[in-house]
Amino acid sequence: MHPRRLAPLFAALAFASSTALADVTKDASCQTAAGCYTIAGTITNEDAAAVARIAASLKDQGVVGPKFLLNSGGGSLFAGIEIGKSLRQMRALAMVTLNSQCASACVFILAGASRRATYGAVGIHRPYTEQVGNIDIAQAQVEYRDTQAKARAYLQDMNLSDDLYEAMVRIPSEQIQVLTPEELARFGLDKNDPVEQEFLDAGGAELYGLSKSEYLRRKGIASTECGKYLTKEETAQQYLDCRDAILSNTSTYPAKSPPTGGEDLALKIALQVAYDLYPFLDHTKPGANRAAIDEVVQVRDSLMARGYSPAQAIQAAVEQIGPKYAE
């Protein structure tokens, strides 16, 4: 278990300059049909309006699934909530890359995404009111309760456990707790929204003509059973073919998954998939890109130091670095 990391807010938001307004920008080179965007800096109402316009445009086009890279130390809580709602409407992917951060109000944006990938620092603290100036204690109480109620209700609406909110309120507003990989997993901030996953699984069950329970059972078997088809001479295609065979074949499969090679097998699969997607990452082949390989190794080592397994670290590093060097 990793030690909890607390930092004064002024230091953690070196975590992000409080004077830098957030900027919502589009990546013109993105290959995702719905587009790729970055939200960086201090989150404002103007950013919420900009993201709402993106959501409205995609809705008119009938397109979903944009990608948003997050790199913000926070800002307006309520602007963050509105941006999160827009991301949910778009069924967006929110990603915090290794050298990026998402803290304070930014976490509410991350919470809103239907799909999430978190490799950088994610930090939480108690949500605070935006009231400034002299107010009496009764008014302060009203403002505080209203802010907390809205924050908690929003996280519930995003299908996240109350555990996340309870963890937030334990951290003073002037401090940041950077979440460990275990905490990210426990709070659900490193995985798909459960409703999004239900949607995907329902479509998968329909595609293969299975009941939901049978589809999920076979999906679980396929995630481990098919690893044995990945050998040094084979490619990830055998894994995919095996998975498809298990999901589509009418034969009866065992109710329990067979034993596997554990982490060694998971690492082998991760490496083989990486080589299949990005052949230049295979150092044994002509055309290997040493710069790309070195960068993947650097990211992998950093993630492993944070508690990721070797397979998880390879997968995350390749996802982050591979597209950068792809032609």
The reported pLDDT for the residue numbered 175 is 95
User: Does position 21 have pLDDT exceeding 60, yes or no?
Assistant: no
Q: How sure is the predictor about 313, in pLDDT bands with cuts at 50, 70 and 90?
A: confident
Q: What is the mean pLDDT of residues 31-55?
A: 93
The reported pLDDT for the residue numbered 193 is 94
Residue whose entry in the numeric block shows the structure tokens 């090679």: 261
Are 21 and 56 in contact by the 8 Å Cβ rule? The answer is: no
**Phi/psi of residue 149, nearest 5 degrees:** -65, -40
Provide, rounded to the nearest whole percent, the portion of the chain with pLDDT above 70.
83
Please, where in the chain does CATH 3.90.226.10 lie? 5-192
* Whole-number Å distance between alpha carbons of 156 and 134: 32
Are 300 and 309 in contact by the 8 Å Cβ rule? The answer is: no
User: Does position 46 have pLDDT exceeding 60, yes or no?
Assistant: yes
The reported pLDDT for the residue numbered 286 is 73
Provide, rounded to the nearest whole percent, the portion of the chain with pLDDT above 90.
43
Indicate the SS3 state at residue 178: strand
Q: How many CB atoms lie within 10 A of CB 130?
A: 12
The reported pLDDT for the residue numbered 306 is 76
The reported pLDDT for the residue numbered 4 is 41
User: Does position 26 have pLDDT exceeding 80, yes or no?
Assistant: yes
Residue whose entry in the numeric block shows the structure tokens 């004077």: 19
User: Does position 254 have pLDDT exceeding 70, yes or no?
Assistant: no
* Whole-number Å distance between alpha carbons of 254 and 31: 40
The reported pLDDT for the residue numbered 160 is 96
User: Does position 189 have pLDDT exceeding 80, yes or no?
Assistant: yes
Q: What is the mean pLDDT of residues 70-95?
A: 96
User: Does position 209 have pLDDT exceeding 90, yes or no?
Assistant: no
Q: How sure is the predictor about 83, in pLDDT bands with cuts at 50, 70 and 90?
A: very high
Q: What is the mean pLDDT of residues 198-211?
A: 86
Indicate the SS3 state at residue 183: helix
User: Does position 256 have pLDDT exceeding 50, yes or no?
Assistant: no
User: Does position 230 have pLDDT exceeding 90, yes or no?
Assistant: no
User: Does position 128 have pLDDT exceeding 60, yes or no?
Assistant: yes
- Give me the chain's average pLDDT, please: 82
- 25 residue type, one letter: T
Which of 23-27, 50-54, 151-155 shows the lowest per-residue confidence on average (mean pLDDT)?
23-27
Q: How sure is the predictor about 287, in pLDDT bands with cuts at 50, 70 and 90?
A: confident
User: What confidence tens digit (pLDDT) does each residue in 159-184 have?
Assistant: 999 999 999 999 999 999 999 999 99
What is the fold of 5-192? 2-enoyl-CoA Hydratase; Chain A, domain 1 (3.90.226)
Which is more confidently placed, 246 or 134? Answer: 246
Are 323 and 314 in contact by the 8 Å Cβ rule? The answer is: no
